[in-house]
Amino acid sequence: MINHLVIIGVGLIGSSLSLALKDSGNVNKVTGCGRSEKNLKKGVKLGVIDDYALDIAAAVKEADVIVVAVPLGAMREVFSQISTSLKPAAVITDVGSAKETVMQDASEILGDKVSRFVGGHPIAGTENSGVEAGFSSLYQERKVILTPAQDTDEDAVNVVENMWRACGAQVEHMEVHHHDMVLAATSHLPHMLAFSLVSHLSKMTDQDEIFNYAAGGFRDFTRIASSDPVMWRDICLANGDALVKLIQGYKEELDHIASAIQNNDPEALFDLFRDAKHTRDQLRHL
Task: Give the CATH number of the domain where residue 95 resides.
Answer: 3.40.50.720
DSSP string of 63-107?
-SEEEE-S-GGGHHHHHHHHTTT--TT-EEEE--S--HHHHHHHH
**pLDDT-above-70 percentage for the chain:** 100
Q: Has residue 1 got a pLDDT over 80?
A: yes
Q: What distances in angstroms separate CA 79 from CA 22, 38, 107, 120, 145, one per listed residue?
A: 26, 23, 10, 15, 21
In a domain, 286, yes or no: no
Domain end position, chosen among 137, 157, 174: 174
200-237 pLDDT per residue, tens: 999 988 888 888 888 888 888 999 999 889 999 999 99
| pLDDT above 80 for 286 | no
Domains in the chain: how many in total?
A: 2
What spatial distance separates the first Cα and last Cα of the chain, rounded to whole Å? 32
Q: Give pLDDT, residue 37.
A: 92
Closest CA to 40 of 178, 193, 48: 48
pTM: 0.89
- Quote the domain boundaries for residue 253: 178-281
Residue after which a domain boundary falls, among 158, 174, 190: 174
| Tens-digit pLDDT profile for residues 102-119 | 999 999 999 999 999 999
Cα angle 254-255-258, degrees, rounded to a multiple of 5: 90
CATH number for the domain that contains residue 246: 1.10.3660.10
Q: Which amino acid is at 88?
A: P
Confidence of residue 125 (pLDDT cuts 50, 70, 90): confident
In the beta sheet, which residues pair with residue 67?
7, 93
